Structure 1
Amino acid sequence: MEYQFSHDTTSGNFRAKFNTEHQVFGQWLETEIGSNQANLSKVLKMLDGVAHTHQQDIKYVGHQYTLVLSNEDAIIALNASLEGEEMSENLAEQALEFDETESAMCGIDDFHQLMLAWANFLTK
């Protein structure tokens, strides 16, 4: 998984750019985590829980995306796709972009490294 982080000093927003296959991870980081240390800590604790227990799946439901962690994978999906809601008119017109940003998956170790990299980036 390839990614690049940046900080917009004008708006104060942190940005995460990913390859097309994993771009939903960037959107999730920006939307659900951002620079919020409480949310970041919660996800890191969830990762520790997955690593040290044999829980089935742990979910983190955000405003727009849901993260599902298992012992092997991390999956991020747009809440609307999980709830079976119809796509908005705007997204229906851009179905190709919706398909590419609806969900993504990676290995749990890669996701853990991503979260540590994001935490490190925020503290710089």
Structure 2
Amino acid sequence: MDYRFFYNERQLPCARLSMDHEAFGLWLTDELGADTEQLTSLLQAVSSLEQGQKSEFQWQGRDFLLRLNRDDAEVIALSMLQDHNLDELEGEDLQFYDAESFAACGLDDFKELLIEWQEFLHD
């Protein structure tokens, strides 16, 4: 997963990720932004999953739902869920959806992305 972090013309942090992971970039930019408190909370949730203290974690923002389990991370645009039950989407092939609406990766890659974002915000 390739990514690039930068500040836009309004000096807000932005993330752009490679194809198939674009939704993570939108999620970082629009949902998480510079909220270091929420970022710390998400890193703690990842740690709890890695240590087996939790089996899954969900966080709903304004536009995206973040779902984590011990192996994977995914972001899903809430607009996708309006016409579908969340459980129905579990078994469906989501690849036909727009890359800006859904993305998934391993939990380790997601943790690395969060740590890199945290370091970018503190620079």
TM-score by length of 2: 0.84
Q: Percent identity?
A: 27
Q: Which runs of 5+ in 2 are unaligned?
A: 85-96
Q: CA deviation at 1:54?
A: 5.1
Q: CA deviation at 1:101?
A: 1.2
> 2:119 is matched with which residue?
120
> 2:62 is matched with which residue?
63
How many pairs were matched up? 112
Q: How much is the aligned-residue C-alpha RMSD, in angstroms? A: 1.7
SS at match of 1:99: coil
> 1:94 is matched with which residue?
none
Deviation beyond 6 Å, 4+ runs, structure 1: none
Q: CA deviation at 1:12?
A: 1.7
> 2:6 is matched with which residue?
6
The question of whether the paired residues in 2 share the 8 Å contact of 1:54 and 1:71 is answered with no
> 1:17 is matched with which residue?
16
Q: CA deviation at 1:83?
A: 3.5
> 2:78 is matched with which residue?
79
Counterpart code for 1:11 = R
Counterpart code for 1:116 = I
Q: Which runs of 5+ in 1 are unaligned?
A: 86-97
* Distance in 1 of aligned mates of 2:77 and 2:41: 19
SS at match of 1:15: strand
Relative to 1, partners in 2 of residues 1:83 and 1:53: Cα closer, same or farther, differing over 3 Å?
Answer: farther
SS at match of 1:101: coil
TM-score by length of 1: 0.83
* Distance in 1 of aligned mates of 2:49 and 2:104: 16
